[in-house]
Amino acid sequence: MELWYTEKQTEEFGITAKIKETLVREQTDFQDLAIIDTLEWGRMLVLDGMVMTTVRDEFVYHEMVAHPALFTHPNPKHVLVVGGGDGGVIREVLKHPQVEKAVLVEIDGKVIEYSKKYLPEIAGELDNPRVQVIVNDGYMHIHDHKNTYDVIMVDSTEPVGPAVELFSRGFYQGIYEALKEDGIFVAQTDNPWFKADLIRTVNRDVREIFPIVRVYGANIPTYPSGLWTFTMGSKSYDPLQVDEANIPEIETKYYTPRLHKAAFALPKFVEDLIK
């Protein structure tokens, strides 16, 4: 008998993958958590029925959360990652030698626990001495740490359950206050095919707070529609003014110095969303 996992990405559309094995399934204090081993994408982290990451394509998302902002800021010493308990963004952050301390604030400790056990390729740097892992509410951490971070990255689920507040204007205002005077933040902002209103709203809210706002994209095949967006808010530095000749080559599979500016070239229908 064949077993298949299906994520309903809308009421009328979904993706499906053939399952080799279910490694863990648990209702945590915050969400339904599963890690399944699929034949096409390898081990897959699923939260509340939504694919968060897979061993095969995780590098796209994690590299594109981390590197555009860290190569835009000239001296990112202190970095905060909100969410991201799988550890993938932290792994990418640590590729930047200027980063002295990377703080991970994840609300659900079970995501960290099971990622370390079943997704070591992704979570392998969570015990690095440059990393501080805090199991707590990222919204409250932001509120309690004014003028602290050079770069803040929001690696959240889609805006359901505990992640809803991470897409609010109040949260973005809190991020602005938690950043130093030349700080940068970046957040995943879902896909333009099914969540156009979300992208439009986030862009409007961030523009009311940050003087420089840029949206960029990447192709992530196991995320809804495959086309994913990220929104960057900056107090001082424009990612489009970065000289790619000054971006060092680091070990990546998706991000490159040539891609840095190219990622900000959006399809026309996405440009129209954020006018």
Q: How many C-beta atoms surround the C-beta of residue 203 within 10 A? A: 20
Alpha carbon distance 94, 211 (integer Å): 28
3-state helix, strand, coil in the chain (%, to 5): 30, 30, 35
Other residues' Cβ atoms within 10 Å of the Cβ of residue 271: 12
Supply angle C-alpha 70, 76, 79, rounded to 5: 85
238 is catalytic: no
Q: Taking the CA of residue 162 as centre, how many other CA atoms within 13 Å lie in the half-sphere pointing to its CB?
A: 19
Give the residue among 106, 67, 63 at the shortest CA–CA distance from 84: 106
Residue 162: φ, ψ to 5°:
-65, -10
Q: Which among 86, 108, 150, 155 is annotated as catalytic?
A: 155
Residue 92 to residue 116: CA distance in whole angstroms: 16
In this structure, what DSSP letter does residue 40 have? Answer: T
Answer for the pair 188, 149: CB distance below 8 angstroms, yes or no.
no
User: Helix or strand or coil: residue 245?
Assistant: helix
Pairing type for strands 78-83 and 149-155 reads parallel
Specify the DSSP element, H or E, that contains 34. strand 32-38
List active site positions.
155
